[in-house]
Amino acid sequence: MSTVAFLGLGHMGSRMAARLVAAGHEVTTWNRTPRRLAGARAATTPADAVAGAEFVLTMLTGPEAVEAVLFGDDGAAPAMTPHAVLVELSTIGPRAVAAIAARLPCPVVDAPVGGSIDRAEAGELIVLAGGAESDVDRVAPVLAALGDVRRTGGSGSAAAAKLVLNAAMVGGLALLGEVRELAAALGVDPEPLLGTGPLAMVAARAGATGVHFGTELAVKDLDLAIRHGDRLPLLAAARDRADTQPTGQDAGALADPRSTR
């Protein structure tokens, strides 16, 4: 088993770290707001958490949070050795991954995940993994405790793939809301049509239970996608729609016709 530092115990991180503990890894955790996880040691700073760790996993809200935790006061980066591997689980985009990798003494694997808290609890996430093949080989046994590891290619490739997936999901939810608004205006019951139509997977996500992806995270991910793309007006419109929703509300609310008004 491996020594693992897990930085970030939010909705997803707490459940993912618990999976690593259950798999028998020696886990040390850190969270900005102190939290304890059964079976893990709680560190007081990121630097304390990563001391001696073979693998450092970050599951944070975005690029700015990762930057602060790695390179800010009492940050993890100076305490990491060349023999460690940083596994970046957050959704931060390939440019941020490249910038981080250039400043660390150790290899970086970008490994954002697909799925929500229900799949995190069950260890059934989709784990995208990008980086040098030998580095992904090293971290694969640890990531296997979280779900199905899918290799995407070189460094930054998984971070890029995650932006595409989240843009499709959030953009689809916003479109679904407008389709339902149109159906109401035309006096059509949309649900039998949506259940087997081109938006069927989006409709299933909109009605799913046991999931959580806050609208503020949807806005952040669409902002990242727009920064990496060129002329993405539909995603910009979906971002603006998500930005009007209450903070903390699940992004599935975008599929409610009332969210388009």
Per-residue pLDDT, 258: 83
pLDDT (tens digit, 9 = 90+) per residue, 189-217?
999 999 899 999 999 999 999 899 999 99
What's the pLDDT at 168? 97
b/e map of 243-257 (b: 16 or more CB within 10 Å)? eebeeebbbbbbbbb
In three-state secondary structure terms, 231 is: coil
- Show the domains of the chain with their CATH numbers: 3-154 (3.40.50.720), 161-260 (1.10.1040.10)
The reported pLDDT for the residue numbered 261 is: 57
CA distance 101 to 81: 13
Q: pLDDT of 223-233, one tens digit each?
A: 999 999 989 99
Q: Nearest to residue 213, comparing CAs of 243, 175, 170, 256?
A: 170
Upper half-sphere CA count for residue 126 (Cβ side, 13 Å): 10
Report the mean per-residue pLDDT for the chain: 96
pLDDT of residue 192: 92
Tokens of 135: 């580095």
pLDDT in tens, 83-113: 999 999 999 999 999 999 999 999 999 999 9
In eight-state DSSP terms, residue 250 is: B
Q: Rounded distance, CA 2 to CA 53, Å?
A: 8
CB 26 within 8 A of CB 1: yes
Separation CA 27–CA 238 (nearest Å):
38
By DSSP bridging, strand 147-153 and strand 125-130 are parallel
Angle at 136 between CA 130 and CA 140, to 5 degrees: 115
Taking 50 as the pLDDT cut, the residues of the chain under it are: none
- Residue 157 confidence (pLDDT): 98
Provide the CB-side half-sphere exposure for 121 (13 A, CA).
7
Q: What is the pLDDT at residue 259? A: 78
Instruction: Quote the CA–CA distance of 77 and 72 in Å, as a whole number.
Output: 9
Beta bridge mates, 250: 214
